[in-house]
A = this chain, B = another copy of it.
Amino acid sequence: MIKKVLIANRGEIALRVHRACKEMGIATVAIHSEADRDAMAVRLADESVCIGPAPSAQSYLKKSQIIAAAEITGADAIHPGYGFLSENAKFAEMVEAHGLIFIGPTAEHIRTMGDKIAAKQAMIANGVPVVPGSDGGITSIDQAKKVARDIGYPVLIKAAAGGGGRGMKVAEDEDALETAIKTAKTESKAAFGDDAVYLEKYLGKPRHIEVQIIADTHGNVCHLWERDCSLQRRHQKVLEEAPSPALTDEQRNEIGDIVAKAVQKMGYRGAGTMEFLCENGQFYFIEMNTRLQVEHPVTEMITGIDLVREQIRVADGKKLSFSQDEVLLVGHAIECRINAEHAETFVPSPGTITDFHAPGGPDVRLDSAVYSGYRIPPHYDSLIAKLIVHGRSRKECVMRLRRALDEMVVGGVDTTLDLHRKLVEAEDVVDGNYDIHWLERYLGLK
């Protein structure tokens, strides 16, 4: 029975975990670096331990210090949050070796999913769709044509040694294939000294869609529908929503089932997310995150399920508190990640928050660890608040999000609030009509 949880993280997620613990009657230990003495989680937690100086490598990534902090406080479980040590198999192992409960999957699952090739193989083995292609290199034009015909055009020729887009060519149809392969080989040779190329299905306008799952140690697995996180800038998610405006209920049920079954076969424990690219209703596995995601609140708002509470229950050997049939999908939710960055240049803006006012009223949730007078330290990421809004329909949700963004005040530092205020007025966003390239195009064209 978990009685005291050490929260091995900082910022809003540390507060999120603290909240779930308090609501379960579990005591909390907040660890922190010297730069985070005034953090909200530190203020609110039952106990706190300074574990090192500001740099993450000497504090939030310092496994031994975190475990020592659990020892001196008598914590019986550790929640890693996201980032930092949350997907560090070695840390999970150490935690368990010290007789503590790791609130997350087994080290083995973390390790497998951390290896892209092993993860892809595990997915194929468990019936999860991946990006189809030539399993090895292209040996002849005829073999390439056959593979391309099987997977369907357009196809992408990629340098085996490649990276950064060099040696990458798209062939729209069979007529273009031979030229594309030759060009790719030539470029690859020039760039990497190796002309080996392989072939993969080309996705021109994919969406980023991910499926939330949670599994207990009694063989129960539920999926909690998908999130659409296509609005990204430099691979950083900016705005997420659930359900995806691009899926039908049939597609949603189908991919949910596939993922839940695969996770059950794997014997996985805890919360996890399978990320996919999705184009024309087809899903292609990218990776599996073996931890809580930043954007988990949108799932919580459409299902009414507290994911952190379930994580803790499952880690404690309890059964999931619901079955798949009881996972509702009510209305629509959108999350805006508000960073302390300039809304146009994205230059980080650490400093003192002079004014802070949270939006209120119905169906508005703010997950934030900042407050009026708080100093954002320059050492960590710039996420200062997640604004999550729910509505009975997507339209209601967008309208509510607009008014909530209008109410919110963060003074003293630059924030991306204004970017979000623009985004929720943009026609494509209002229509749900975007892919993973949309935001960068929008920002480039502005």
Contacts and interface: CB of A to CB of B under 8 A. Distances in A.
Nearest to A365: B362
Contacts of A24: 399
A327 interface: no
A146 interface: no
B306 A16 contact: no
Contacts of A304: 330-331, 392
A399 B365 contact: no
A138 interface: no
A370 B368 CA distance: 19
Given A23-B403, A25-B399, A406-B44, A360 B355 contact: no
B367 A360 contact: yes
Given A23-B400, A304-B392, A399-B22, A361 B16 contact: yes
A400 B396 CA distance: 26
Interface in A259-309: 297, 300-301, 304, 306
A360 B371 contact: no
Q: How many copies does the complex hold?
A: 2
Interface in A347-382: 355-358, 360-368, 371-372
Contacts of A331: 304
Contacts of A297: 362
Contact of A22 (B22, B368, B402): B402
A15 interface: yes
A34 interface: no
Interface string A24-49: 11000000000000000000100000
Q: Which 6 A-B residue pairs are closest in the complex by CB-CB distance?
A: A22-B403, A358-B358, A360-B366, A23-B399, A19-B361, A23-B400
Contact of A360 (B330, B358, B399): B358
A371 B400 contact: no
A364 B362 contact: no
A361 B372 contact: no
Interface string A392-418: 100010011011001100000000000
A164 B23 CA distance: 44
Contact of A365 (B44, B361, B371): B361
